[in-house]
Amino acid sequence: MSLINIISVPTVNGIKTIEVHNDDITSLDFEVDVLVLSAYQNKYFPAPGTVIKALLDNTGIVLEDLARKPLLDLRTSLHCWVSDEVPDLNFKHIVCIEGIKTRIEQNGTGKNAMSDLFGTVALLHYKKIKSASIALPVLGAGFQKNAIDAILPELIEKAVDSLNTNPSLNTIYFVEINEE
């Protein structure tokens, strides 16, 4: 694991952190409660270079199988779904956000998509699903080839806001396999 940076975020609930790592998100050497990834709407093909493919190769998880029977299906309202608990791995649940590319094409930014994602993460707290730590790549910037400036500012803003407002969320790990 290559730790690049740790950012302290002072909140009303104490100091929380954002960590930036250069690594394969599916093979972390520490545990997280939730692994977040993105997909096209209802499309889970394990294309080379995607987190979906890395999940299949490194853990045997077929994302499409999890999508068929999610623990929470919020696709109609928040464009996200949450998997049942995944046994024997270094993460417990997967949150998949769908349609980032379509929403950026419609709105020019990923603001609505990131609001939906962190709304879903907040809901985990209220559903008593442990979500003190989440790991995610720069969503939609890899295989989907969305412009980083359409995603990253909104992703960081919503991450900091979530740390401030979600009492159970303590650490957000941004994990990118690509150093750039």
Question: What confidence score (pLDDT) does residue 115 get?
Answer: 86
Label residue 48 left, alpha or beta by phi (over 0 means left) and psi (-120 to 50 means alpha): beta
Rounded to an integer, what distance in angstroms lies between the CA atom of residue 165 and that of residue 87?
A: 29
42 class by beta-carbon count within 10 Å (0-12 exposed, 13-18 middle, 19+ buried): exposed
For 17-54, how does the pLDDT look when each residue is reduced to its tens digit (9 = 90+)? Answer: 999 999 999 999 999 999 999 888 899 999 898 899 99
Q: What is the DSSP letter of 20?
A: E
Q: Which residue ranges of the chain lie beneath pLDDT 50?
A: none
What is the pTM for the complete model shown?
0.91
Question: What confidence score (pLDDT) does residue 143 get?
Answer: 60
